Copies of this chain bind each other. A is one copy, B any other.
């Protein structure tokens, strides 16, 4: 990775054109024959081992992970508790001035080197992400590896652009009577303070790297607080950061790993410390809102949860609609913050290229597309992955209580991981008109995992009304619409702007509502309750540093 890559990334974030710096195919043709086995062996070497990363303030180790696939983990990490936070924070701050003085270009260059070395370990990372999250391998390789690297690079590029929009030094000359007034001015980017990144179980790298790299490249030390069930991908990340920092003569503790046992609640203690000035969080709405309210000494960037809608009004490709949506609902068992939860369909059905389809026809078409996609167990598990925890399993198992079953969830035996809990998506039909105010309806709460509601509305007008009300009340990370009329599309765009959600229109091909392309698509908007920030825009990076100037007379 070199300066040219950064230039390409800088171009892409401006033009929003297609760009990727990290090949997404794990094929041997791209990465060579050895890459996969070497990466897997590297992952396996961690199983049951003590992970060799040093965290100041830690006492002993903690092992907290258990794989949704039943893959052995048992990796031990330095255990940080409240007692050690003083030491941890002190160590995090120790290298801050030197890191600040390195300047934006050097910091960006070092960040690129870290990304490069993470990329060299992408198969190891993919195995770690797969084992901890339940993502199938290819998805773990992409969402946990190459796509996450692209998002991290995007954050580095955006931060570099913002840090260098002013000159580092210049001479200001003001016309005056007689001699002009000349001042030499220096503008220095300074960090805000310690940054804390709070990771999640399902996307430990994809959701943590943008904040981690945005904070680091703007000069801040970063304490990485992984979710206790998905530590290894971030432990590897911290290890690589520390190696590169040390190699380049900087304090390796500019990036540290703060692992804890489940339920110890260190995130609250960390996030509210006066030295902590930036918090990045992915996780529950409840804790995200707590952080926004209580970590007021810090800039807080949250991605919480939403209730993602698709409004189905009509289509010129019923087959495209059902096929596209089936993949969205099946991918990683719907355990993405971007997966559609509610599909709003008029009670009277919809017009399609295959003629009129009743509400039931739409449900049946979608069910058939899912059945077809997942007919072969060996192929199904590579799309579904595994259910990440018992809460999700419970929800899918009890989904029959929520309404009328359109498609029952089915347990799939994973051919290679017999202990894995694998479930196909359930579709539950509910009636919008019987539930009174939308916020009380079952479909109006986030139902994370492979349960989708087919919501029977009076008409598209009501579908849009529900999309709007739920968007304001609960937020959404994504939204979709299928309509052949410009009027309906316009009305949906208007609702999407009103609730501040990214809209995908008539997706019938190889682009899915739950996927976003780094450098082009923003992930989240920050404009509704689902998230207060987007990956990656200027607002995401500009508050992570400050500019401090000095000025002095300058001889002519």
**Which A positions have Cβ atoms within 8 angstroms of B?**
14-18, 97, 100, 162, 165-167, 170, 172-176, 181, 183, 185, 187-188, 190, 192, 292-293, 296, 493, 496-498, 500-511, 517, 520-522, 525-527, 534, 537-539, 542-543, 546-553
Measured CA separation A527–B170 after assembly (Å): 22
Measured CA separation A502–B550 after assembly (Å): 6
The one of B185, B517, B542, B548 in contact with A501, judged by C-beta atoms closer than 8 angstroms, is B548
Q: Is the CB of B16 within 8 A of A167?
A: yes
In the complex, the chain B residue whose C-beta lies closest to that of A18 is: B174
Q: Is the CB of B165 within 8 A of A18?
A: no
In the complex, the chain B residue whose C-beta lies closest to that of A544 is: B539
Query: Given A527-B192, A552-B506: A174 and B542 within 8 A (CB)?
Result: no
Query: Given A100-B497, A172-B17, A527-B192: A503 and B551 within 8 A (CB)?
Result: yes
Which residues of chain B have C-beta atoms less than 8 A from A552's C-beta?
Answer: 504-506
Q: Is the CB of B296 within 8 A of A550?
A: no
Q: Is the CB of A508 within 8 A of B185?
A: no
CB distance from A226 to the nearest CB of B (A): 26
Q: Is the CB of B503 within 8 A of A172?
A: no
Query: Given A16-B185, A16-B187, A296-B292: A526 and B550 within 8 A (CB)?
Result: no
CB distance from A469 to the nearest CB of B (A): 15
In the complex, the chain B residue whose C-beta lies closest to that of A479 is: B550
Which residues of chain B have C-beta atoms less than 8 A from A17's C-beta?
Answer: 170, 172-173
Measured CA separation A522–B174 after assembly (Å): 16
Measured CA separation A539–B525 after assembly (Å): 17
Can you list 16 contacts pairing A with B, beta carbon distance less than 8 Å? A16-B187, A18-B172, A18-B174, A172-B517, A183-B511, A190-B527, A192-B527, A493-B550, A496-B548, A502-B548, A502-B550, A503-B548, A534-B547, A539-B546, A542-B542, A542-B543
Which residues of chain B have C-beta atoms less than 8 A from A15's C-beta?
Answer: 167, 170
The one of B162, B188, B521, B534 in contact with A185, judged by C-beta atoms closer than 8 angstroms, is B521
Which one of A170, A501, A520, A550 has the greatest number of beta carbons of chain B within 10 Å?
Answer: A550
CB distance from A62 to the nearest CB of B (A): 32
Q: Is the CB of B549 within 8 A of A538?
A: no
Q: Is the CB of B537 within 8 A of A539?
A: no
Which residues of chain B have C-beta atoms less than 8 A from A526's C-beta?
Answer: 546
Which residues of chain B have C-beta atoms less than 8 A from A538's C-beta?
Answer: 162, 165, 538, 542
CB distance from A348 to the nearest CB of B (A): 25
Which residues of chain B have C-beta atoms less than 8 A from A162's C-beta?
Answer: 538
Q: Is the CB of B166 within 8 A of A509?
A: no
Q: Is the CB of A550 within 8 A of B505?
A: yes
Which residues of chain B have C-beta atoms less than 8 A from A509's C-beta?
Answer: 181, 553
Which residues of chain B have C-beta atoms less than 8 A from A176's C-beta?
Answer: 510
Measured CA separation A62–B5 after assembly (Å): 61
Which residues of chain B have C-beta atoms less than 8 A from A527's C-beta?
Answer: 190, 192, 546, 548
CB distance from A11 to the nearest CB of B (A): 12
Measured CA separation A279–B40 after assembly (Å): 52
In the complex, the chain B residue whose C-beta lies closest to that of A494 is: B97
Q: Is the CB of A511 within 8 A of B547?
A: no
In the complex, the chain B residue whose C-beta lies closest to that of A505 is: B552
Which residues of chain B have C-beta atoms less than 8 A from A188's C-beta?
Answer: 497
Measured CA separation A322–B148 after assembly (Å): 58
Which residues of chain B have C-beta atoms less than 8 A from A14's C-beta?
Answer: 165-166
Which residues of chain B have C-beta atoms less than 8 A from A18's C-beta?
Answer: 172-175
Measured CA separation A542–B541 after assembly (Å): 9
Measured CA separation A18–B554 after assembly (Å): 14
